[in-house]
Amino acid sequence: MDAVADISRSDWPVDLERARLWYEPHLERIHEDADTRRADLIQLEQIASGYPSRERFLTELTSILPTPPAIRPGCVAR
């Protein structure tokens, strides 16, 4: 499991690049729009490089994502 090394000794944001490189061979097989998804992953890497740590990046990323209606207070899933 070299691709999933000890996270405490990781190198941010290089780890995100490693994950993308590992995943790239699977894109063509799994997704019809592999080129678009690859470009999205590269853009995500570029955005991540502006954050000092994985924790900070994920905190910011999850704070801007919309909350699905099913888990918003007072909403009933249909």
Secondary structure in 3-state letters for 21-59: HHHHHHHHHHCCCHHHHHHHHHHHHHHHCCCCCHHHHHH
**pLDDT for 4 beyond 60:** no
Task: Determine the pLDDT at residue 62.
Answer: 85
> Average of pLDDT values for 17-24?
93
For the stretch 44-61, pLDDT in tens is 999 999 999 999 999 998
| Contact assessment for residue 70 and residue 77, using Cβ atoms and an 8 Å cutoff | yes
> Average of pLDDT values for 30-54?
94
